[in-house]
Amino acid sequence: MTDAAESPRTNFIRQIAAADLASGKHERVATRFPPEPNGYLHIGHAKSIVLNFGLAQDFGGTCNLRFDDTNPHKENVEFVESIKEDVRWLGFDWGDRLYFASDYFEKLYDFAVELINKGLAYVCELSADEMRAYRGTLTEPGKDSPYRNRSVEENLSLFTRMRAGEFPDGSRTLRARIDMASPNINLRDPVLYRIKHGVVHHQTGTTWCLYPTYDYTHPISDALEGITHSLCTLEFEDHRPLYDWCVGNVSVPSKPRQIEFSRLNLEYSVMSKRRLTELVSESHVHGWDDPRMPTIAGLRRRGYTPASIREFCHRIGITKSDNLVEMAMLESAIRDDLDAHAPRRMAVLRPLKVVLTNYPEGQAEEVEARNHPKDESMGARRLPFGREIYIDRSDFEEVPPKGFKRLVPDGEVRLRNAYVIRCDEVIKDAAGEVTELRASIDMDTLGKNPEGRKVKGVIHWVSAAHAVPAEVRLYDRLFQAVMPGAGGADYRDDINPASLQVLTDCVLEPSLRDAAVGERFQFEREGYFVVDRDATPERPVFNLTVGLRDTWGKSKK
Ligand code: ATP
Ligand code: MG
């Protein structure tokens, strides 16, 4: 992939940023990526990361990494660390601008006091159920809380006591005093603070028993950091008036603008963190970095490159319309990258032994094989060749289907980078299973066709004497349905029971013995593979990254 191919396409947000710089509204672009540390990042987050960091990069601005950590129950340091690792791996740098919303708890508290003093916030004693009943519906206005008209003094006193820990969970909230009749339910006196005793926050420990809500924290954090363009997904569109209300009513140093874009939805995947958490905790997959997961950690272990994920994000673009992206889009991005950059190797996944009966016993030689068909700079390697080789079971058919071009009884095939062989004899076990082939080699066919004969098929092989035994893990889609759980069904019912197939008897050409964890190759005629972190010096383990060709179009259910 060239750098030019990765250059971002324009979109409406870039146009807004460019216009704001041109008009002098802003002197610089400042964005932020604000994950909640309650799970690992997924490919949807990558879209947001590439947008936020990419925008800042292209306009010479800055992008902050800010953990939105206002909900300590489900958050932890493992998630904080994994998120940092994933953002870095994707190729982005927040420099010294790493923040936590919890850094602002003291300031947020002071702003809440400011709101109370302005008559714009009050302590409410309605229970959660009562509050819901008072809120009204989309068609009916809400009712004022009986606590709405408390005096400033009473509110200040109660809010101080809330902070001091005098009241139990759920007994009181601090609410914005906006408009219970607003057609926008988000403006019907939303909760700004709730009481949570007994939680240990991963950053602030037990300092606080009062936690600000996301809707209150987010705009003020943006304003404190001087964010110019606060980019978020479409479900926050209805929250924008509240965002503006918050930054408009407290003494923050800047007024960021919220702009919404549509979130990424990917076919055959789930993307909500709740579901991803369940897949892990209920052991439907082997952890957050299971190669079948749409997490960044999973994609990395699957063999995706950072460049391919960035490229995917550029290709899908940024719009305001909700859509479902085809899995083939994601796969073509990594396939294009690996096609250009992955060295070619030979690996036999389902070995069938072939004895070349006319090749002298004890003789050995090496043939040359290029590492890439188009890129000469990737060089070549020597492959040992000998009397016994392995080919893939699927490259031999006793009763060939129509159009089968590979090895058949009494037929010829070319061994890639080597010679033409002819199958003379098929050996079977008692059950009738083919266990070995006897073949003869035409030593006059290295790099050229035999006189007067056309050999159409070319197959890959590995020398038996030098073969490196290995495990190869093949992955299929994690879900069988395009939209798992659509129509209210349980998304777990759509889990594909055959999403992982482990092949334990594979053989590799010897150069693969020393491949390092994370190294990627094309196994010729099979697909692209990456060394898994389970690999040991004794036993290489490879993951299938992606096949050589797109098969999604054919198989869509
Ligand atoms: P979930 O709803 O699954 O818990 P979230 O949106 O709450 O996810 P956050 O950690 O809050 O997850 O997300 C951080 C940022 O990433 C937010 O700005 C959010 O809008 C963005 N984001 C999350 N999911 C997607 C997605 N599928 N596509 C694009 N951006 C996303
Ligand atoms: Mg969120």
Cα dist from 357 to 268, 390, 439, 441, whole Å: 49, 14, 6, 8
What is the pLDDT, as a whole number, of residue 2? 39
The pLDDT confidence band at residue 101, using thresholds 50, 70 and 90, is very high
- Which entry of 66, 273, 300, 477 is annotated as an active-site residue? 273
Cβ-in-10-Å burial (0-12, 13-18, 19+) of 172 comes to buried
Mind listing the pLDDT tens digit for each residue in 269-292? 999 999 999 999 999 999 999 999
Judged by DSSP in three states, 124 sits in strand
Q: Which two tokens stand for residue 456?
A: 């159409």
272 is in an annotated binding site: yes
User: What does the DSSP 8-state code read for residue 347?
Assistant: E
Question: What is the 35 CA–ligand 2 centroid distance (Å)?
Answer: 7
pLDDT of residue 555: 58
Q: Which fold has domain 4-261?
A: Rossmann fold (3.40.50)
What 3 state SS string does 36-62 have?
CCCCCCEHHHHHHHHHHHHHHHHCCCE
**Each residue of 379-421: pLDDT tens digit?**
999 999 999 999 999 999 999 999 999 999 999 999 999 999 9
List, for residues 424-460, the tens digit of each pLDDT value: 999 999 999 999 999 999 999 998 888 888 898 999 9
46 is in an annotated binding site: yes
pLDDT of residue 452: 83
pLDDT at 453: 84
Annotation says 36 is catalytic = yes
Query: Measured between alpha carbons, how far is 511 from 339 in angstroms, rounded to an integer?
Result: 19
Banded pLDDT at 1 (limits 50, 70, 90): very low
Catalytic site residue 263? yes
Catalytic residue (choose from 36, 397, 436, 471)? 36
For residues 42 and 89, what is the distance between their CA atoms, to the nearest angstrom? Answer: 13
Which of the listed residues 63, 67, 233, 264 should we mutate to test ligand 1's pocket, taking the one with most ligand atoms within 8 A of CB?
233
CA angle centred on 556, ends 553 and 557, rounded to 5°? 165
Query: Residue 6: in which H helix or E strand, if any?
Result: helix 3-6
Q: Is the pLDDT of residue 490 over 50?
A: yes
- Rounded Cα distance between 172 and 162, Å, is 8
Ligand 1 pocket residue status of 234, Cβ below 6 Å? no
Among 84, 143, 263, 275, the one annotated catalytic? 263
φ and ψ at residue 536, rounded to 5 degrees? -125, 165
Tell me the mean pLDDT in the region 100-117: 98
Query: What fold does the segment set 273-343+470-556 form as a domain?
Result: Ribosomal Protein L25; Chain P (2.40.240)
Q: Where in the chain is the domain with CATH 3.40.50.620?
A: 4-261
Asked whether 47 lines ligand 1 (CB < 6 A), one says yes
Contact 23, 55 (CB under 8 A): no
Q: CATH code for 348-460?
A: 2.40.240.10
Residue 3, pLDDT above cutoff 70 = no
550 or 331, which is more confident:
331
Indicate whether 140 pLDDT > 90.
yes
Whether residue 126 has pLDDT greater than 50:
yes
> Quick check: 116 pLDDT over 60?
yes
pLDDT for 6? 56
How much is the average pLDDT of 80-91? Answer: 98
Residue nearest to atom 16 of ligand 1 (CA): 45
Residue of 33, 38, 48 to test ligand 1 pocket, by largest number of atoms within 8 Å of CB: 48
Chain segment 335-369, per-residue pLDDT in tens = 999 999 999 999 999 999 999 999 999 898 999 99
Ranges for all domains in the chain classified under CATH 2.40.240.10? 273-343+470-556, 348-460
pLDDT at position 7 is 60
Which ligand is nearest the CA of 313, by number? Answer: 1
292 is catalytic: no
pLDDT score at 556: 54
Q: Ligand 2 centre from 236 Cα, in Å?
A: 10
Q: What are phi and psi of 121, to 5 degrees?
A: -155, 150
Q: Which helix H or strand E contains 119, and what residues bound it? A: none
